[in-house]
Structure 1
Amino acid sequence: MPVEIERKFLVTHDAWREGASARRIAQGYLSRDPDRVVRVRLIGDQAFVTIKGRRSGISRAEFEYPVPVIDAEELLKLCLPSVIDKTRHEIEIAGFLWEIDEFHGSNAGLIVAEIELPAEDTPFERPSWLGEEVSSDSRYTNSYLSGSPYSTWAHDA
């Protein structure tokens, strides 16, 4: 069974921007049930449907399948409110790919960095721009953000 092992962090400053590649992503959810999250993702001329199981620690089952772009565009119309709009920046550091998601729209102001690991205990270099780890905080999952956007959260002034 394919397994995603991912750690997630808030980002404290923009030093990651230099050398990062970027692509815009639209992503919506047909199901946000923690036992079976079903996501539709459109990235330029590529599209995917992904099914994720319940998280256990920082691991969970993940199945991802390419679909025709036209199908993804129609599926996004069927998704629960609201569709996530973000720019994904990618940068490689010390042999690991970091994905930095800069959210737009109702999630604007939130920037989160993710790293996928081969095992939960795999060591990795922490870039200077990493802040608090939020891997265990479900509020920072995209599925949660689609239903409870970052702009609606109470923020410290």
Structure 2
Amino acid sequence: MKAIEIERKFLVRNDSWRDCAGIPHVLQQAYLSRDENSVRVRLIDGRSACLTIKFRTAGLAKDEYEYEIPVEEARDLLRHATGHVIEKTRYRVLHEGRNWDVDVFAGAYEGLTLAEIEMAGEDDLPALPQWLGREVTGNKRYSNRAMAEASRQPPLGACGG
């Protein structure tokens, strides 16, 4: 299904978001291409999976196509990653009527926590929770794809600065 993805991303300052967090989901994801567009496979809780294709457009927007795929195919595709598999636990956190995704990374990026919000448009101004740290929207060091392709070194400021 095609969608337009417009999101902002932030480092997380502290754990006070946990008071409003929903049920966590363990994600494993990997990228299957190295060009400017991305093909990602994601395994969710080991029970469901999806394949996502993203095309960069102007500004913050990206054209995104996402499809459910069989779990066994996702496991096979993870073995074909260009780089390594990103491991994280995702929490949905409600703040002033808006859902934020908070990702707590494991493995090579343990200690890094990022929050992102999907927006209706680039001029959308969501209320920012107090637990957010510095905005890292557009900073490639904090893109999951760049982290998957990196030499397993945490981005600078990974402690929430």
**Cα contact 2:20–2:94 (8 A) shared by 1:** no
Q: Considering fraction of residues, name the structure with more strand.
A: 1
User: Match of 1:5, as an amino acid?
Assistant: I
Shift of 1:144: 0.3
Q: Aligned with 1:101: secondary structure?
A: strand
Query: 1:122 is matched with which residue?
Result: 124
Query: 2:56 is matched with which residue?
Result: 54
User: Match of 2:43, as an amino acid?
Assistant: L
Query: 2:40 is matched with which residue?
Result: 39
Separation in structure 1 between the aligned mates of residue 61 and residue 73 of structure 2, nearest angstrom: 29
Could you tell me the TM-score, scaled by structure 2's length?
0.90
* Range with bigger deviation, 140-149 or 109-118: 140-149
Gaps of 5+ in 2: none
Gaps of 5+ in 1: none
Could you tell me the TM-score, scaled by structure 1's length?
0.92
Separation in structure 2 between the aligned mates of residue 145 and residue 18 of structure 1, nearest angstrom: 28
Q: Aligned with 2:78: secondary structure?
A: helix
**Cα contact 1:26–1:84 (8 A) shared by 2:** yes
| Equivalent residue for 2:133, pick from 118, 131, 134 | 131
**Cα contact 1:10–1:134 (8 A) shared by 2:** yes
1:26-66 deviations in whole A, cap 9, x for unaligned?
001101322x2000000021100000112532211111000
Query: 2:106 is matched with which residue?
Result: 104
Separation in structure 2 between the aligned mates of residue 64 and residue 113 of structure 1, nearest angstrom: 21
Query: 2:96 is matched with which residue?
Result: 94
Give me the CA root mean square deviation: 1.9
Q: How many residues align?
A: 156
For residues 66-81 of structure 1, what are the structure 2 equivalents within 5 Å? 66-81=68-83
Q: Aligned with 2:153: secondary structure?
A: helix
Shift of 1:147: 1.2
